[in-house]
Amino acid sequence: MLDDFLVRAALAGVGTAIAAGLLGCFVVWRRMAYFGDATAHAAVLGVALALLFGTSITLGVGAVALLMAVLIHGLSGQGAAVDTMLGVLAHGALALGLVAVTLIPGQRIDLDAYLFGDVLSVTRTDLAVIWGGGAVVVATLWWHWSAMLTATLSSDLAYAAGINPRREQLVLTLLLAAVVAVAIKVVGALLITALLIIPAAAARNYASTPERMALLSMAIGALSAIAGLRLAVIFDTTVGPAIICVAASIFAVSAMGTALRRLRSA
């Protein structure tokens, strides 16, 4: 079954979307979209370093994303200047990565595959990395669910409950790095943050509890991955952007439904 490239692509998309959908809930709750952008944009620099040293793309992307995540964690809580620093880091790392990729000697590199994903070329090894990394993300979030929710609600409440909110934020930023490493093959560096945010934002319009929002976000992400792949095959377009377009459409429907409910209750 795994010899069929479309089956591998679907499995890769669903595995990535499940992990990103769950983690995306915390990204939305904590308003960490810019953190996600900075980590995702650094992925291109990781690709360049991996090609330069002849190592695994996933390993290179993971290492640079991890470094960026730790740097972001160190900057968090430092005041209003953090937004500026995150902007510098995000776009500086992206620009440096793009320049470095083009300067690597003896290599013809398809930048679109790293910027927008190339899920149709996923191999069995890629599948193992995606599902293995996704399982680590989901298991870690499940294990830390109560502590992370408490820290997200209030730092003071977390301290009162014996929870270190800075530690929980560090865990989240490290998980962001893991999702970036496994998602670059599916949606690319420029669209990873969209896969984190959009399904969670759509799920928030339907859910009444954090747990329901998490489950709905994962379901919407998985549905977007499968439908996006189908649309890309039908219309012969790039899969990564098609996945995000489906997710954005679901969000638009959910937002309109929420607006109509508010109008009726007004």
DSSP string for 24-91: HHHHHHTT-HHHHHHHHHHHHHHHHHHHHHT--HHHHHHHHHHHHHHHHHHHTTS-THHHHHHHHHHH
- What pLDDT score was predicted for residue 77? 62
Place of tokens 């995606």: 130
Lowest-pLDDT range, 6-10, 27-31, 90-94? 90-94
- Least confidently predicted of 37-51, 56-70, 104-118, 241-255: 104-118
pLDDT tens for residues 145-203?
Answer: 999 999 998 888 999 999 999 899 889 989 999 999 889 989 998 899 999 999 999 99
pTM of the model: 0.92
Q: What is the mean pLDDT of residues 79-107?
A: 79
As a whole number of angstroms, the distance between CA 261 and CA 266 comes to 9
Give Cβ neighbours of residue 172 (< 8 Å, ≥ 6 apart).
Answer: 23, 26, 27, 30, 32, 148
- Supply the mean pLDDT for the chain: 89
pLDDT of residue 201: 96
Residues 6+ apart with CB under 8 A from 1: 7
103 has a pLDDT exceeding 70: yes
Write the DSSP assignment of 215-240 as a string of letters.
HHHHHHHHHHHHHHHHHHHHHT--HH
Domains and CATH numbers, the chain: 5-265 (1.10.3470.10)
Q: Is the pLDDT of residue 64 over 80?
A: yes
The CB density around residue 149, as the number of other CB atoms within 10 Å, is: 17
Identity at 169, one-letter amino acid code? Q
Residue 112 or 2, more confident: 112
Task: Please tell me the predicted confidence (pLDDT) of residue 88.
Answer: 83
Contact 221, 18 (CB under 8 A): yes
CA dist., res. 36 & res. 193, Å (int):
6
- Concatenating the DSSP letter of every residue in 2-30 gives TTSHHHHHHHHHHHHHHHHHHHHHHHHHT
- Give the model's pLDDT for residue 1: 53
